[in-house]
A and B are shown apart, each in its own frame.
Chain A
Amino acid sequence: MLEALLLLPLIGSGLVFAFRNSNSKYLAVGIAFVQMFLTFYMLSQFNNVPTVDSQLQFEIIKPWSSYIKSTLHFGVDGMSMLLLLLTNILVPLIILSSFNENEKYNNNFYALILLMQFGLVGVFTALDGLLFYVFWEVTLIPIWFIAGLWGDEEKRIKVTTKFFVYTFVGSLFMFIGLIYVYNHSASFELTDLYNANLNEVQQVVVFWLIFLAFAVKLPIFPLHNWQPDTYTFSPTQGTMLLSGIMLKMAIYGVLRYLLPIAPTALLGTSGQVVMILSILGVVYGALIAIVHHDIKKIIAFSSLSHVGLMVAGIFASAILTAQGNFTFEGAQGALVQTFAHGINVVGLFYCADILIKQFKTRDIRQMGGYAKAAPKFATLFMILLLGSMGVPLTNGFIGEFILLKSIFDYDKVVVIFAGLTIILAAVYLLRMYGKAMFGTGDERVVSTLKDISNVEFVVLASLAVVVILLGVFPSGVLEMVNSSLKFIYSSIKG
């Protein structure tokens, strides 16, 4: 089952690459949809209430190398399942979203997206440190080519180089962090890494080495420098992949690798430093988003702000647990929010893309009055916007609520700043929506505006459906990640 999920995108990528034809996009989207249905099938087979000690399902264990103590070990638990769902729902929609641009993308583009999907599935199911690192880096190459080859004509080279160097350097530190743990454990096997006998100082060193990679990818406040530019100047599909899925690799990595390997570091100042940095990111991202006029930059900074909140929630619970008050609801909120944010941010970037195409500018001051011309679009855009603001009955609400609750438990002052995210998000998102949809634009431009095409409608409507569904029934996701998080957080305690 998991074999199919891993191999299909890889083989599909090869097929699409060999299929030098303008119809390659249909093949690509077909493969992505098959992958999506496979994931749904897997979900139906997935046993959500596992027996106490075996929460892993669909396991694959195969020998890899005789000299390196690392095995091809894959498996799925609740947390992996959630992220697999996110990946495999979003990828077909992302491919579909490119259909309106007939000439721009060729078979290489779709092959790269599928290759990226292969890497992502690997990251979310690998249960071996080295394997995780390998897939982590595998995702970098296709997205770099996507951003570099199809990005903004003038800035793409500068921006993609910055992106690549930033992430590669971050990953290298994780690499030596993992090797360091490996030298103290029996193998790269996840449980062996958890049980490596590291003393307090060693744990702090390992914590920062590994965290650096995640901090770059998220990004956490002072390392965010690559993010707005890359999000702005990549092709829309690249931005969707980056913000919707790739960033979640780091959230997943923090939970799966960082916290259980170096739990003692949380007791010292390291955990608090991360808390402060992520809250700074929350406020900083939101404030910058308020003053920007570039629609893609606004969404990029809003993403920075939202991600900060997720990290803060994870660490709030983790620090509390390490101090002896067992709780994992912050992480639960973060995972729900991870799923919700993936859907919302992909939707928002797509809306931004549509607006940019219509008005031929990224500046929201030069947009206006699109609501009249495009009622369908206005409705769907609004739903995604509400989700992103965290209005009740949308997917953003429950996650944000739990996150703030867990930060409240951690510290009553910090939560004031964290809570700003909701207010500020409403400010910049509504300002953006108001300007673009109801403002008074140039008469000549407004008269040329058209409503969205069928493809665009299908993509946005599917995302909107997920927004509402998850908002009304969040319990499914909460239950799905319950037992994995219980396991991870109890290993922090011990």
Chain B
Amino acid sequence: MSVLVVLFLTAVLALFSGVYNQGKFARYIGILGLLVALCVSFSPELAFFNQYKSMFDFNENAALFTKISLVVTLLIFFLGGFAFNNHRSHQSELYSLMLFSLIGAVILFSFTNLVTLFLGIEILSIPLYVMAGSNKTDLRSNEASIKYFLMGAFATGFLLFGIALIYGSTGSFDVHVINTFSIANPKDLMFVMGIMLMLVAMAFKVSLAPFHMWSPDVYQGAPSLITSFMASVVKIAAFFAFFKVMNLAFAGSIKEWINILGVLVIITLLLANAMGLAQTNAKRMLAYSSISHAGYLGLIFFGANSLSVYNLAFYLFAYSLSTVGVFMTLIWVEKLKRETSFEAFKGLAKSEPLLAVVTAVSLLSMAGIPLTAGFVAKFNIFAQAMNGAAFLVLIAVIGSALSIAYYLKLIISMFFHTETSFKSSEKVSITYNITAVFIIVAILTIGIYPDLFKILFGL
């Protein structure tokens, strides 16, 4: 809980720092605040401060996911200095909006009540609508903002209606009460309708097909740093909330919703990977890759056991690391070339070897090549899902097989072509290099020694 307090204070401070200068301080305040929050979340006395237990339960799982999203947000803040350095105004607002969004994420990690779930989702989302449109002069950014807002509003509608139906049938917002009801009356019609509506709403949020249509456009239109935040931290929050609400509240009715979810997962895996193949723009390709990872993550619902939460955390951390790893290069290329097609990446390995390597390692990790964190993550989830749904794992493998082709495209552009050169005037900053080295080392060491993940996050 104290994490929330620290983050809130930091966000407000960051916001007000914009009054006095152009907002460079906001980033430093943000980084400092995030570090403090990280320390707090590691301390049991401070972190597990459960005053409002009927609304929040800041338990071990919540702490674990909070730590992960804090680390990922820190990485994104490190990149901010370069990404926003000619964003003339409103820097401090963007940083503080990111922090507010993160507060929504932390609420989502610890909700025990459908009202707090709803609050968390809205606090997470509303800053995002603004951030997506923060390039005010760019038409695509405006489009992204509107599209995201409209789709988000729809999802909110579904969510609220679902919660209302569930409240109607159970008489409570508390997940434990709902779970008791679910075990007693798994087939109650109004209740199941409520679950379905909530399922749709959450599928919107984690962009499972066929509710994914917004995400490629939004990912492409939003400023790249914001996109990396959406693809990593928001995904962590939304997915864990999804997993938690389905397993904590609706476990009794699992037969009613698991097959529908299975269909969504199959469509996602096949569609997203097939669409990814057709892309010529790296940023859009990453959007489809992000959708496809929602599909792999969807396997976590099948054959769920006591290790599921660990598997989910591992996957989300591995995926977020590689997402930031690819996006940092994308931001750099976009700055210099003003576009993000595969063409723009040609020859990057010659001029910026470190960035090329971090991107290659990240992409290989996303594809699930051994010795990277992504491989262990995929292994965990596949091994778990194999128990309940071998067929789905087969589909996931076909999806992975398709995906490797588009991940390779980007690596090939960077390493195997030497035609175009980059302007040498712009040097990669030290924070950028530190972030790159951190990501490479993290992906490889966790991939080689998976237990490190446990040690790092104090499990």
Contacts and interface: CB of A to CB of B under 8 A. Distances in A.
Interface string A136-156: 011011000100110000001
Interface stretch (B24-32, B48-56, B110-118, B375-383): B375-383
Given A149-B415, A161-B405, A137 B369 contact: yes
A138 B444 CA distance: 12
Contact of A182 (B383, B404, B450): B383
Interface in B112-167: none
Given A130-B379, A133-B370, A183-B387, A176 B404 contact: no
Interface string A419-463: 000000000000000000000000000000000000000000000
Contact of A168 (B375, B386, B404): B404
Interface stretch (B96-104, B321-329, B393-401): B393-401
A157 B412 contact: yes
A67 B449 CA distance: 11
Given A65-B450, A67-B307, A168 B397 contact: no
B336 interface: no
A186 interface: no
A4 interface: no
Interface in A97-143: 130, 133-135, 137-138, 140-141
A148 B379 contact: no
B286 interface: no
A269 interface: no
Contacts, number: 81
A389 to B, nearest CB: 38
Interface of B is mostly: helix
B457 interface: no
Interface residues of B, number: 31
Interface in A163-192: 164-165, 168-169, 172-173, 175-176, 179-180, 182-183
Interface in B370-427: 370-371, 375-376, 379-380, 382-383, 386-387, 390, 393-394, 397, 400-401, 404-405, 408, 412, 415-416
Interface in A249-300: none
Contact of B397 (A66, A134, A175, A182): A175
Contacts of B400: 172
Contacts of A148: 412, 415-416
B415 A164 contact: no
A149 B307 CA distance: 42
A141 B416 contact: no
B454 interface: yes
B276 to A, nearest CB: 14
Contacts of B397: 172-173, 175-176
Interface residues of A, number: 32
Contacts of B42: none
A149 B416 contact: yes
A52 interface: no
A166 B364 CA distance: 16
Contacts of B211: none
Interface string B427-459: 000000000000000000000011100100000
Contacts of A175: 379, 382, 397
B16 interface: no
B405 A165 contact: yes
Contacts of B364: 141
A61 interface: no
A68 interface: yes
A410 B376 CA distance: 42
A386 to B, nearest CB: 39
Given A65-B451, A161-B412, A176-B397, A138 B370 contact: yes
Given A161-B408, A169-B401, A172-B400, A179 B415 contact: no
B404 A169 contact: yes
A157 B408 CA distance: 10
A141 B369 contact: yes
B310 interface: yes
Nearest to A172: B397
B404 A67 contact: no
A424 to B, nearest CB: 35
Contact of B380 (A64, A67, A156, A168): A67
17 contacts: A64-B450, A66-B454, A67-B450, A68-B380, A68-B450, A134-B371, A140-B369, A148-B416, A156-B416, A157-B412, A164-B404, A168-B404, A169-B404, A172-B400, A175-B379, A176-B393, A179-B379
Interface of B: 307, 310, 364, 367, 369-371, 375-376, 379-380, 382-383, 386-387, 390, 393-394, 397, 400-401, 404-405, 408, 412, 415-416, 449-451, 454
Interface of A: 64-68, 130, 133-135, 137-138, 140-141, 145, 148-149, 156-157, 160-161, 164-165, 168-169, 172-173, 175-176, 179-180, 182-183
8 pairs of A and B residues whose beta carbons are closest in the complex:
A134-B370, A169-B401, A137-B370, A65-B450, A172-B397, A179-B383, A168-B404, A148-B416
